[in-house]
Amino acid sequence: MKITTVTKHFKTPLYLESGRILEPYDIAYETYGELNKDKSNVIVICHALTGSYHAAGLYEGDRKPGWWNDLIGDGKCIDTTKYFVICANVIGSCFGSTGPMSLKYPLNEPYRLRFPVITISDMVKAQISLLDSLGIYEVYAVIGGSMGGMQALCYAIEYPHFTKRNIIIASTYATQPWAIAFNKVAREAIIKDPKFDSGMYDVKDIKENGLNGLAIGRMSGHISYLSENSMQKKFGRNYVETEGLYELFGRFQVERYLDYNGYNFSKYFDPLSYLYITKAINIFDASRNYDSLEDSFSNIKSHLTLLSVKSDQLFFKEEMEQIQKSMKKINKGNLVDYHCIDSDYGHDAFLVEVEKFVPYISEALK
């Protein structure tokens, strides 16, 4: 599989929903496979909250491949001998695209809290600019899970002629109070950490030692990504053998898991990026700027494949079902396929139990 990693610089302004402007800005992206002559084999992959452009393949010297490596590659479900796959890091993130720690022109110092609030629509608009610059004006499919699913739905509504297939996985039509509440815990933990210092934290110190607030926030997120059944199977009531049961700070296995993931994460993900991206997730509502959800969906011309997860405790299956109901209400039910994946893993099933999603994605790509 041919892998190409690029950071593209844009001097033209990106006009944001807020009325603010990003100028200039960068988009980091990765491609897999070969673009055919008529550019008709393009599939766009949209990543989730903490994802990056590195969706598949293995870098030299690395032990861990891209986050959707089980799905993307030569001979796999998204076959890179057939398709040209592109995954761009969203603006606001910390993996190469312009975000809060990028240098603000012409001051040559990080934006930090001067970075504008962005939305899912802004993320997609930036990706459209990238694809335009590559001479790609229509794609075979757009696929995304979680926040990536929000982007895939946004493509369908705001760019109805851009693709004929939108595959939306473990996502929602609008972020509900339950998910916003989890994000609130994470956001407060970050902001209230003294080392956050109103966004003026020492970047080198964060990379070396992490930020406790971000680690705690990530723990909150992990709880919502799993399910009761998956936690029971994975950890049960098992205790860390080397830590005494009657030691005040002794831990159950589930506590050690949260510690490990939370504190490791806080060393490589930027705290301000986490704040800006969760804000974008919280804002997301497909009916915003429209009279109703049905009014918004009236723009859709592409075929939607909706895949929810039965045990999802972040974006409940009923939220995905609502998309199908609204499409049927406006006589567009023929443009929707809906499937609920029977998995006990919870929200993250689309990253972990990929094999359960493969048949439906394969069918949608036919």
For residue 218, give both structure tokens.
């990530």
User: Same domain for 28 and 148?
Assistant: yes
Confidence of residue 159 (pLDDT cuts 50, 70, 90): very high
Mean pLDDT computed over 88-110? 95
Mean pLDDT computed over 83-112? 96
- The pLDDT of residue 105 is 87
Rounded Cα distance between 366 and 249, Å, is 54
To the query of whether residue 337 is one of the catalytic residues in this protein, the response is no
Pick from 227, 247, 278: which residue ends a domain?
Answer: 278
* Residue 108 pLDDT > 90: no
User: Same domain for 122 and 249?
Assistant: no
Confidence of residue 227 (pLDDT cuts 50, 70, 90): very high
Q: What angle do CA 309, 312, 318 make, to 5 degrees?
A: 75
Rounded Cα distance between 275 and 202, Å, is 17
Of 32, 46, 45, 35, nearest to 80 (Cα)?
Answer: 32
User: Same domain for 114 and 202?
Assistant: no
* Residue 212 pLDDT > 90: yes
Domain residues for 247?
179-278
Rounded Cα distance between 233 and 2, Å, is 38
CB 115 within 8 A of CB 92: yes
In eight-state DSSP terms, residue 54 is: -
Place of tokens 């704040």: 275
- 160-202 pLDDT per residue, tens: 999 999 999 999 999 999 999 999 999 999 999 999 999 999 9
User: Same domain for 199 and 168?
Assistant: no
Percent over 90 (pLDDT), the chain: 96
User: Same domain for 108 and 225?
Assistant: no
User: Same domain for 296 and 223?
Assistant: no
User: Same domain for 150 and 260?
Assistant: no
Burial of 200 (C-beta count, 10 Å sphere; 0-12/13-18/19+): exposed
Confidence of residue 60 (pLDDT cuts 50, 70, 90): confident
Pick from 242, 263, 278: which residue ends a domain?
Answer: 278
In eight-state DSSP terms, residue 196 is: G
- The pLDDT of residue 61 is 81
Confidence of residue 20 (pLDDT cuts 50, 70, 90): very high
To the query of whether residue 146 is one of the catalytic residues in this protein, the response is yes
User: Which candidate in 47, 227, 347, 348 is catalytic?
Assistant: 347
Total structural domains within the chain: 2
Place of tokens 């995304």: 144
User: Same domain for 243 and 260?
Assistant: yes
**Taking the model in full, what pTM does it have?**
0.96
User: Same domain for 237 and 340?
Assistant: no
* Residue 225 pLDDT > 90: yes
User: Same domain for 156 and 55?
Assistant: yes
Mean pLDDT computed over 326-341? 97
Pick from 250, 278, 306: which residue ends a domain?
Answer: 278
To the query of whether residue 312 is one of the catalytic residues in this protein, the response is yes
User: Same domain for 244 and 351?
Assistant: no
User: Which candidate in 146, 171, 227, 296 is catalytic?
Assistant: 146
The type of residue at 287 is S
Longest Cα pair distance anywhere in the chain, in angstroms?
Answer: 68
User: Which candidate in 79, 193, 312, 348 is catalytic?
Assistant: 312
- The pLDDT of residue 106 is 86
The CATH number covering residue 10 comes to 3.40.50.1820
* Residue 250 pLDDT > 90: yes
Q: What is the mean pLDDT of the chain?
A: 96
